[in-house]
Structure 1
């Protein structure tokens, strides 16, 4: 299954989930202005093919995490949770802002999983946190 990296719907910009956690599109992350406006310091790209943000020097940058999965029914996000939690926590503890992007279901699923762990919420309550 091929994946689309660019948004197919009009872009409303990033959504702030927590004071330090944002969700958005590939279009958002490719905009240096948007990244500066939201003070994004760390980026999680949940895809195997979408390009990295221009603000990231290379994919080995400590402020960039690629979770190389495609948007498919058999994609396994769970094996990457600990790596993502550690990345987000490191950013949070250094007063950074994390931007998660790529994938209509992958990015929010990662945000919900982090909120469940970080805030000790149930799946339903964490999902509501992401929606508000």
Structure 2
């Protein structure tokens, strides 16, 4: 299947020169001006978020199971940090695509914040769910194609979106290309 071939092409962008996936070295990395991708640990440290100048937090693992990061608006109350949660699971079968637009809108809102907004997009490890939402943002709001968007994030942080998410990002690319053709 064409999509399987393309998923392999995208996976090639994610591995190192030995063909291995690496794990992130840091709790968070700035992957695009004003956008940090990170893990549960950084998300739970308001002191560090303030130190990094984070004004907004997008939790791609909003929920209460072990697979999720249980923070929520109450956790950030009084910190001045704006919270938004997306209840994604890191499973090939999970439809993250239905949140691409919602996530992109929140990131855009954070970046256009008058006080030089900086947004932390996180999940448990900052490896699959959150980078996928940032890639979707770059495609939806910055005109990037999926390969260039993945390369951008991967150049700043070791990431490994699952194959289901990569398929959904490819689907987004086809959809955006169709829209561009229709409006041409």
Shared topology, TM-score over 0.5?
yes
Name whichever structure is richer in helix by fraction. 2
Alignment partner of 1:57 is 2:80: no
Root mean square deviation, CA, Å? 2.4
Q: Cα distance, 1:55 vs. partner? A: 5.7
Query: For each residue in 1:79-127, what CA deviation from the matched residue of structure 2 results, as whole angstroms up to 9, or x when unmatched?
Result: 1111111111111111211101114211111111111122211100000
Residue in 2 aligned with 1:100? Answer: 121
**Distance in 1 between the 2:84 and 2:45 partners?**
18
**Distance in 1 between the 2:77 and 2:131 partners?**
26
Residue in 1 aligned with 2:137? Answer: 114
CA contact (8 A) 2:54 2:81 kept: no
Displacement over 4 Å in runs of 4+:
none
For structure 1, the 5+ residue unaligned runs are 1-8
CA contact (8 A) 1:32 1:55 kept: no
CA contact (8 A) 1:42 1:97 kept: yes
Q: Cα distance, 1:11 vs. partner? A: 5.6
For structure 2, the 5+ residue unaligned runs are 1-22, 156-184
Residue in 2 aligned with 1:6? Answer: none
* Aligned residues between the structures: 122
